[in-house]
Amino acid sequence: MKYYVLFGPPGAGKGTQAGAMVERYNLCHISTGELLRSEIAAGTELGLKAKALIDNGNLVPDQVVEDMIEAKFRGTKGVDGFLLDGFPRTLAQAEALDSMVEKHGENVTACISIMIPDSLIKTRIAHRALVEDRADDARPEVVEHRIETYHAKTEPLIQFYKAAGKYKEIDGTGTIEEVRSRIFEAMD
What are the beta bridge partners of residue 123?
A: none
Choose between 33 and 172: whose C-beta lies nearer to ligand ADP. Answer: 33
**Host H or E run for residue 81:** strand 81-85
Is residue 22 within 8 A of residue 28, CB to CB? The reply is yes
Q: Could you give the CA distance from residue 177 to residue 181 in angstroms, rounded to a whole number? A: 6
Q: Minimum CB separation from ligand ADP for residue 104, in Å?
A: 20
Q: Rule CB under 6 A: say whether 32 interacts with ligand ADP.
A: yes
Q: Is 89 helix (H, G, I), strand (E, B) or coil?
A: coil
With b meaning 16 or more CB within 10 Å and e meaning fewer, what string describes 111-125? bbbbebeeebbbebb
Q: Rule CB under 6 A: say whether 11 interacts with ligand ADP.
A: yes
Q: Minimum CB separation from ligand ADP for residue 83, in Å?
A: 13
Binding positions for ligand ADP, 81-140, rule CB under 6 A: 86-87, 89, 93, 136
Q: Is 89 part of the annotated catalytic residue set?
A: yes
Q: Rule CB under 6 A: say whether 53 interacts with ligand ADP.
A: yes
Half-sphere exposure of 79 (CA within 13 A, CB side): 22
Choose between 86 and 172: whose C-beta lies nearer to ligand ADP. Answer: 86
Task: Catalog residues that contact ligand ADP under the rule CB under 6 A.
Answer: 10-11, 32-33, 36, 53-54, 58-60, 65, 86-87, 89, 93, 136, 146
The set of catalytic residues is 14, 89, 128, 134, 146
